[in-house]
Amino acid sequence: MDNKYYSFDSKGYLVTLAAVPKIFRDAINNQDFSEDGRKNIIKQLIWNEYPSSVSFPIVFYIEDGKKVRNTVEMRHTSAFLISKEIKELFESNGITGWKPYDIILYRKDGSIMEGYYGFTVTGTNSVDPNNPDYIPDFFHFYPKYGHIVCTQRVVDLLKKHKIKDFEIMEINEQNYPHLIECIVFPK
């Protein structure tokens, strides 16, 4: 594989602020465990597959954690909110394969915490026949594997700006042998 790709996630520190969407909390409180119920909203938000009935901004509540970082955890694999700094860094550098979504983030005391956005992966690991050389900077293997994948470009940008809030590991035979076969982009 000539191009390098990386598994991308937040670091998942337990001390980092963690939030839950109100939609999810309501589904759990109402014991709505149906397949089309709102208990799946976190997964749907990560993979840009939320139902059209979902309205934005999405309301989130801080549930635990104390440390303010460039991410707010959701305590779910590959699910996190990003700071305004990260959003603007990705946008100003033309990072592709993702989009932000508007949120309202409530602290435990009921006040609003400004400066965070949702993070949705829009890129996929399939070749676009209209543009076969296009590789988004973020993409995913969902539903087969629940990994966010990023390109070297994202890794270099985060290193350049000394942002260390993300867990980034190269996808190779040693770290993620099951993902190697999934990358179908041109080499």
173 band by pLDDT with thresholds 50, 70 and 90: confident
Residue 133's pLDDT is 79
Mean pLDDT of the chain: 87
pLDDT exceeds 50 at position 58: yes
Tell me, what's the pLDDT at 72?
95
CB burial of residue 42 (10 Å; 0-12, 13-18, 19+) = buried
Considering the entire predicted model, what is its pTM?
0.89
Q: Quick check: 21 and 42 in contact, CB under 8 A?
A: yes
Mean pLDDT of 147-167: 95
In this predicted structure, the answer to whether residue 187 has a pLDDT above a threshold of 50 is: no
**CA pair distance 72, 42, nearest whole angstrom:** 13
pLDDT > 50? residue 1: no
Q: Is 120 left (phi over 0), alpha (psi -120 to 50) or beta?
A: beta
pLDDT digits (tens, 9 = 90+) for 69-80: 999 999 888 899
Instruction: Give residue 151's pLDDT.
Output: 94
Percent of the chain predicted with pLDDT > 90? 54
